[in-house]
Structure 1
Amino acid sequence: MFKAHFQTFDDSSERAASAARVAALRAELTRRGLDGFLVPRADRQQNEYLPASEERLAWLTGFTGSAGFAIVLHDRGAVFVDGRYTVQADAQIDKNVFAIAHLVETPPDQWLTQNVTAGQKVGYDAWLHTSDQVERFRQAAATAGAELVAVEDNPIDALWHDRPAPPSGPVTLRDIKLAGESAAEKLQRVRGELTKLRADALVVSDPQNVAWTFNIRGSDIAHTPLALAFAIVPRDGRPALYVDGAKLDNETRHALEDVADVREPAALAGDLAAFKDKTVRLDGASAADALSREVQMRGGKPAAGADPITLMKAVKNHAEIAGMRAAHIRDGAAVTRFLAWLDREAPRGTLTEIDAVAALESFRRETGLLKDISFPTIAGAGPNGAIVHYRVTRETNRKLGVNELFLIDSGAQYEDGTTDITRTVVIGEPTAEMRDRFTRVLKGHIGIATAVFPENTSGAQLDPFARHALWQAGLDFDHGTGHGVGSYLSVHEGPARISKLGHVTLRRGMILSNEPGYYKTAEYGIRIENLVLVIAAPEPAGAEKPLNAFETLTLAPIDRRLINTRMLTGKERHWLDSYHARVHEVVGPLVDSHTQAWLAAATRPL
């Protein structure tokens, strides 16, 4: 069972170690004839969460945030972070060794152009970058007359003497009752897509896609039940699955060998020689540049593009949808118990953000079915709630203040489904401005929840529904409205999303988040998030196109005390009252009597 951990930022010993490690790296680069090196926070499959053995950026720089990049040159270096991590980077990074730059405002490739000189050679590990990323850096180096050079082995690994061992958790088979489709059937569908793409083979580099295709799950990645595995699916012939055999028991191995050759990961590169003069599809988002180089070196024709499995996986089947519904009922009961507990305890003025995180995880554990949280819980009290991707640490841990807002964004992994929910509650009495902003966010949430749209509609086309009420007041939020969610897989799943950049068509069976928000810097944050399922909508007489709508899966009360009811239309009031009636009906019987009494009040009609 997992355990909640809370990070400490200020570690002078790590900063001191970073200076020594950078000096050692520079000496190693000189030995190799290199003038610099690129250090992304990445592994071979571009996973969102990394095993400890892949945390090279943290080992070198001391920075432990979830997004970052470093460039080390002989006389200077920089670490690039986004706005979420400026405070953390300032505390963790030795600024005598590294400058701290903004990942978006000063992109690493731009910094490289400005800081390398003609004739210099900058190394990179081709397994840790996609081909698109490498091309950007190659052009940046060339602009300054420098050269980007792929290294045979990562120089950091040669210096990291106490590097953790790679993860070795067992691979398990996903029950067909939960998967809803056999691996053989899925592979047949993949081959059909390869025929359409005129590709001879597909290298499956995203471990989420490997897990879905072969109906397996693992424990190599935090918060996401994945095994670090690759696959090759030829259009004609037998697939191959590349996974550490030590992770397979006899039952799992035999089941997998029914549909594929099971081989060690080291065999992957050599096996690409079978596709000489053939077109090999590589996923542009997750395939390492090393794979493209291997295909070319062995006479194949790499073709970068979307892995067709990504879209297939996003459209859930009946079994997956049933599992997600069951998971959300169970999770809704746990979250409702937490909200009732919070309402009792927070007014005393002693609860902290860490207390809230630990309590919510405890309520989920008590279901007896929790596998893990689906991402580190975001629990922001007062001004911390205004930091969109805030992560509480022991230094930032804040008490939940009276007459303040508290935002908590959390999720769970159950064997039958993945959840993600955000609730914003008031401790004490809200200001008129808080209620106005909360109600505008709620109107946007309802706008998405009640949307009816023709087939072939994209997330970008729906995104304004979530923002309209905020726009009317000259307000907005800077993140997307919704992301895709996997079925006991990643809580952040492509390719569909509801955002200004969400150009993928929303299809029936896709599950996405609905999470508009508003953030007032240094004061408070508001977000209301439910997961929704794309379903068929009733078609009115005379309709010329099939229509889709959303079914809300998440079941937990929305804080009525923060709503200015005069701002809601009759239809919006009806939606909220109907939603709360459903929450009361479904969740009520699953909670204790004290929570039932609280829930009855929290879900009464407006």
Structure 2
Amino acid sequence: MFQSFETTSSPDQGPPRLARLRLVLEAAELDAFLVPRADAHQGEYVAPHDERLAWLSGFTGSAGFCVAALTRAAVFIDGRYRVQARAQCAEDFEKVAWPEVSIGSWLREALPDGGVMGYDPWLHTRGEIDRLADSLAGSGVTLLAVETNPVDAIWADQPEPPRGKIVVQPIEFAGETLEAKCQRLATELRGKGQGAAVLTLPDSIAWLLNIRGSDIPRNPVPHVFAILFADGQVTLFADDEKCDDALIEHLGPDVTVESPSAFAATLRGLAREVKGTVRLDRTSCPIWVEQQLSGASIVWDTDPCALPKACKNDTEIAGAREAHLRDAVAMCRFLAWFDATAETQSQTGLTEIDLVTRLEIFRRETNALMEISFETICGAGPHGALPHYRVSTDSNRQLQDGDLVVLDSGGQYLDGTTDITRTLLVGEQAGDAEKAAFTRVLKGMIAISRLRFPKGLAGQHLDALARYPLWLAGWDYDHGTGHGVGSYLCVHEGPQRLSRVSDVPFQPGMILSNEPGYYREGAFGIRIENLIVVQAAEALPEGDARAMLDFETLTFVPIDRRLIDTALLSAEEIDWINAYHVTCRQKVSPRLDGAAAIWLDRATENL
């Protein structure tokens, strides 16, 4: 049920904490310290134990970092979070537009005479530190890995690291045994002359071993490390309290479980014990691991689990289809309730938290929800202009007539992970500006949904198609058009993305979000999101036989027709919307009854 998010720091707490941190930095002869929103596993979401950035600065967004120097401090945030950072962080923290302004350029100004910036080697990757070092070349600023994190040194009531139970993901949902996965990846290692691969991403290890965990809220992953050897053997480093007899039996004789305290010694021994190189991923493996491998022959390569995990097998895709239909029932029941409220009483009596709470109730009534897949984003009116707004008891807004509400939510089910955004209208009449913006966002979403493209293209080649209708009006949005989605794993999953910066070619089985948006600060926001899966496109009679891909839509929930300006749509776009709504009705109606079924029939009428 809804839990109000109260940050571990408020604006007035930041300055005294910053002052205490500076005393520690002076004692350690450091001129600055880098505070990321990261943990040793480099996941997007972190446990309370690792919320150092929020504790120090007050900023709670899912992306950003702080540089604390002896005389200046700055929080670096991208376009999604700049309004949020101004509200959450004290004036002692400069708000720096990143990536427009780099850490390197800021440090050159903050430390004009050079100096030493410390960093925690558990919290940064080789790729990240190399880029930072390059940007500092010639500045006199040097980087130093520290043994003790100075934020931890002053955080007296820092929560303990999570120790949630590890559970088995049944084969009827995984679709492939852990033994088959390990041997498949081991074959790749041998083919490249690699003796072992160090795995640090929890979702990679969870996928490989068909396990799940509860160490990160809303993400069913365990905080563990692993080493995959070229013979298919695996050493898993996990706390004893995470493991039970059922897990050990599931892992079988080819997986050895060791205490995390043995991780360092095992890494130091790899140089002697393996033939060939040791594989690390420079984008996800913490530098601490590299430090322990002194003497080993290291090769920088991608996480061997990343691409196989992203390309879902037939069982996982079938599970995703079923999970999305189940989730569509919950969404349609919620939307029917929301519209009925408008008919029987004023929706303006409702608040953002009311919507979040009621939607979760409908999802739980499926009797299959394991957890919501992320903290529901429910931004009404001007709050909708914050793409990753997170309602709290302090910010909770009462709905007002004419508001648009951006409602971005999802569920974790054993057979799949869902993520859907719908923009709701409070009342019956939207403004012309809101309808025009909504329709341009919808046009971008339709363009991706209808797309047919040659094999070998990546997100950077397709992203502009979703933005083109907005660009024609001089508008844009500051987030990617889509992210990968796991199979009862993380709702944000790589390596594929529908983004102008992603060069990972799309392959059949990859699940992505399709979510263009538009945000007018202080007024309203719009986002429309369906999940899609990459598939081989059917050959066309007039085609030239080249391999083509397209997308299968997984999400089937009506789009509010009251917000559509049909004058801005082409005949093909109107046909797509009408066909989509027919499919929604055909797939979801048999699972509904009563008022929700009647609502769905009305909501899916032709334009």
Scaled by the length of structure 1, what TM-score is found?
Answer: 0.93
1:319 and 2:295 matched: no
Residue type at the aligned position of 1:103 = W
Deviation per CA, 1:538-575, whole angstroms, max 9, x where unpaired? 20235321222211111111111122334333332222
Partner residue of 2:483? Answer: 483
Q: Identify unmatched segments of 5+ residues in structure 1.
A: none
State the one-letter code of the partner of 2:597: Q
> How far does residue 16 in structure 1 lie from its aligned partner after superposition?
5.2
For residue 100 of structure 2, give the secondary structure of its aligned residue in structure 1: coil
Q: Judging changes above 3 Å, is the alpha-carbon distance between structure 1 residues 462 and 60 closer, same or farther for their aligned structure 2 residues? A: closer
CA distance in 1, matches of 2:453, 2:334: 35
Partner of 1:408: 407
For residue 6 of structure 1, what is the aligned residue in structure 2?
4
Does the 8 A contact of 2:232 with 2:254 survive in 1? Answer: no
Please tell me whether the aligned partners of residues 384 and 522 of structure 1 are also in contact (alpha carbons under 8 angstroms): yes
Shift of 1:496: 1.2
Paired position in structure 2 for 1:288: 286
Q: Residue in 2 aligned with 1:334?
A: 330
Aligned partners of 2:165, 2:140: CA distance in 1, in Å?
48
Between stretches 178-187 and 146-155, larger displacement belongs to: 146-155
Residue of structure 1 in register with 2:300 after alignment: 304
Q: How far apart, CA to CA, are the structure 1 residues paired with 2:576 and 2:564?
A: 14
AA aligned opposite 1:287:
C
1:88-115 residue CA offsets vs partner (Å, 9 max, x unmatched):
434443434x333333333333222222
CA 1:237 to 1:7, structure 2 compared with 1: closer, same or farther past 3 Å?
closer
* Partner SS state of residue 169, structure 1: coil
Per the alignment, residue 49 of structure 1 pairs with: 45
- Rounded to whole Å, the distance in 2 between the matches of 1:169 and 1:461 is 40
Corresponding residue number in structure 1 for 2:35: 39
Q: What letter corresponds to residue 473 of structure 2 in structure 1?
A: A
| Counterpart for residue 543 of structure 1 | 544
Q: State the shift of 1:263 in Å.
A: 1.0
Return the offset for 1:435: 2.5
Cα distance change, pair 498–35 in 1 and its aligned pair in 2 (3 A) = closer
Partner residue, 1:260 = 255
For the pair 1:144 / 2:145, whether they are aligned, the reply is no
**CA distance change for structure 1 residues 601 and 241 in 2, over 3 Å: closer, same or farther?**
same
Quick check: 143-152 or 199-208, which moved more?
143-152
Give CA-to-partner distance per residue, 1:148-167, whole Å, 9 cap, x none: 22112223323323221111
Question: Which structure 1 residue ranges, 4+ long, deviate > 4 Å from structure 2?
Answer: 13-17, 139-142
Tell whether the 8 Å contact from 1:39 to 1:71 is kept in structure 2 after alignment. yes
Please give the secondary structure, in 1, of the residue aligned with 2:194.
coil
Q: How many residues align?
A: 599
Q: 1:456 to 1:68 in 2, by over 3 A?
A: closer
Cα-to-partner distance string for 1:470-490 (whole Å, 9 max, x where unaligned):
333333333222111100011
1:420 correspondence with 2:419? yes
Q: Could you tell me which residue of structure 2 aligns to residue 605 of structure 1?
A: 606
Q: Which residue number in structure 1 is paired with residue 439 of structure 2?
A: 439
After superposition, the C-alpha distances for 1:402-422 in whole angstroms (9 at most, x for unaligned) are: 223222111111111100111
How far the C-alpha of 1:119 sits from its partner, in A, is: 6.3
1:158 matched residue in structure 2: 153
Report the alpha carbon displacement of residue 70 of structure 1 after superposing the two structures with TM: 2.0
CA shift, 1:87, in A, is 4.3
Backbone CA RMSD of aligned residues: 2.2
Gaps of at least 5 residues in structure 2 are none
Compute the displacement of 1:581 (Å): 1.5
Q: CA deviation at 1:593?
A: 0.4
Report the 3-state secondary structure (helix = DSSP H, G, I; strand = E; otherwise coil) of the residue aligned with 2:280: strand
Opposite residue 60 of structure 1, the aligned amino acid is: L
Identity of aligned residues (%): 46
CA contact (8 A) 1:335 1:556 kept: yes
Q: Secondary structure at the match of 2:148?
A: coil
Query: Contact 1:205–1:283 (CA<8 Å) still a contact in 2?
Result: no
Secondary structure of the 2:75 match is strand
Do the aligned residues in 2 keep the contact of 1:314 with 1:510 (CA within 8 Å)?
yes
1:187-206 equivalences under 5 Å are: 187-206=182-201
Structure 1 residue 219 displacement after superposition: 0.1
Residue 132 (1) aligns with residue 130 (2): no
Quote the Cα distance in structure 2 between the aligned partners of 1:454 and 1:83: 32
Residues 566-581 of structure 1 correspond to what in structure 2 (within 5 A)? 566-581=567-582
Partner of 1:107: 102
Residue aligning to 1:370: 369
Indicate conservation of the 8 Å contact 1:51/1:220, yes or no. Answer: yes
Contact in 2 for aligned 1:350/1:399 (Cα 8 Å): yes
Segment drifting more, 84-93 vs 146-155: 84-93
